[in-house]
Amino acid sequence: MDLLSRDRLREFWSAYKNSRLGVLGLMILIFFIIVAFTAPLLTPYDPIRDKFLAEGSALPAWFKILPQYSGLPETMDFTVPSEVDGDGWRFKVEGPVTLSRPEPLTFTFRDSDGVGASGVAELTHSFDYEYSPPHSFRVNMSLQFLDVNNVTYSAELYILNPESDSFLVWSSGPNRRPLEPQTISLDSKGIPFELKSRMGLEWHRNVAEHIFSERGPYNLILRFRVDGDPGGSSTLTLTLGKLILHVPGRVHGVLGTDHLGSDLFSQLLYGSRVSLMIGVSAALISVVIGLLCGLVAGYYGRIVDEVAMRLVDVLLVLPGLPMLMILSSLFGRSIWNIVFLLGALSWPGFARVVRARVLQLKTAAFIEASRAIGSSGIHIIFRHLLPNVLPLAYATVALSIPGAIMAEAALSFLALGDPDTPSWGRMFYSAHSFGAFQRLAWWWIVPPGLAITLLSLSFVFIGTTIDEVLNPRLRVVR
């Protein structure tokens, strides 16, 4: 049956659209194809590179509809401009200190009695926090000292809560030289035990939850304590970069985040690309190999058939998933290696079907007539036998894709998939490895499972319908 002619295509579609399951499967497939192509438009995040968008294992944002989750913070950045006054820092001094120039900041400490000038220069910025306590926070700021002249200084960063309790979260220690490195990069989870103990906390307590336990106005205080050398004046000149206080959200996006704070919804969308590519590519490789092997073995017979069928028998008795696990470990976890292995290991069953069909056809009158006029074996295989077995291939391709999708998901779940490729199986692996099943985080588990099921069902419906249309013996009498 030649499906390439316009009349045949029209006849095929006329019969196909009468099947409800076939139309349903086609609609589901079209939906996933649209999602695969429009994934960059549907989500702003890269599923692999964009990490720490929120807390690890953050809840979906729509959880805030529920009263018990309404106060959970989304990801926030409190930014302090570098300038003094205006929307930036407020300046205050204690002792014989003057601010000579605002850009760069130059603090001058004058020694009036010859024993050395001491004082404190303090920069303050206020912000409001009106949410439940976060699990962590990070502070990033460049602090570059241009001139440290006849002075010993220490730089300290405090957070002042609404109850006016101050918490020291970073300190440079006493210095007579510029800071190295010149960037404050603070993670609340890495605050030293010494500073925790000054807050009255045990080593295992959460600093962020303790500091941000109240709702209301907070203050960031950058304090410079200075002891000048005796005689003359001492100066401390520095430039301030923009300070960013980053509070990772405890809720995020449509499906929350995984253990690394990556967006699960973007992984779900981009996973459709991977599953479609793997399923279709592996099925095509499998069908092409099986088609060629079955055609050659069935037509030539004898030693060619014997060797081919013994190879098929060996591959059929090998356990599929263990073989995939071993070979993917040997050849590497590249996505293309997985595609090739899936295609190379799943063709034997189809090869047997094609061979059986060729054995029936090669004794037909039109084959004998072609052989009688001197046609070569290759001409007979590709001009006469191939068009008659192609209908088997159409249905087999569609019916093989779900198996390839499930096999890739199984490999990824076992940590044998490509770690640089977002896939639904990888989502299951992360969920299993980092406690989603124990916490019953169904929003992490159900969507990829449902996506695999629907996409696999769509190809099953399409393949079954194609088989019914192309094989009259399977058509249901309506």
Confidence band of 134 (pLDDT split at 50, 70, 90)? very high
Higher-confidence residue of 227 and 47: namely 47
> Average pLDDT, stretch 111-134?
79
Q: What is the mean pLDDT of residues 241-262?
A: 92
- Predicted confidence at residue 244, as pLDDT, reads 92
The whole-number pLDDT of residue 226 equals 81
Residue 474 has pLDDT above 70, yes or no: no
Phi (first) and psi of residue 187, to 5 degrees? -115, 125
Per-residue pLDDT at 316 exceeds 80:
yes
Residue bearing the bigger pLDDT, 273 or 235: 273
d(CA 387, CA 361): 11
Higher pLDDT, 320 or 160: 160
pLDDT digits (tens, 9 = 90+) for 397-415: 888 899 889 888 888 888 8
Look up the pTM and report it: 0.83
Residue 5: predicted pLDDT: 63
Whether residue 25 is predicted with pLDDT greater than 90 in this model: the reply is yes
Is a pLDDT exceeding 50 seen at residue 81? yes
- Report the candidate in 399, 388, 314 with the shortest Cα–Cα distance to residue 356: 388
What is the tens place of the pLDDT at every residue in 297-315?
988 888 988 898 898 888 8
pLDDT tens-digit readout, 70-79: 999 999 999 9
Dihedral, CA of residue 172, residue 173, residue 176 and residue 177, to nearest 10? -30
pLDDT at residue number 321? 76
Instruction: Point out the least confidently predicted range of 120-129, 361-370, 441-450.
Output: 361-370
293 within 8 A of 357, measured Cβ to Cβ = no
- Answer with the residue of higher pLDDT: 198 or 33: 33
Decide if pLDDT at 319 tops 90: no
Domains and CATH numbers, the chain: 6-50+263-474 (1.10.3720.10), 76-247 (2.60.120)
Q: What is the pLDDT at residue 111?
A: 54
The stretch 34-60 carries a mean pLDDT of: 92
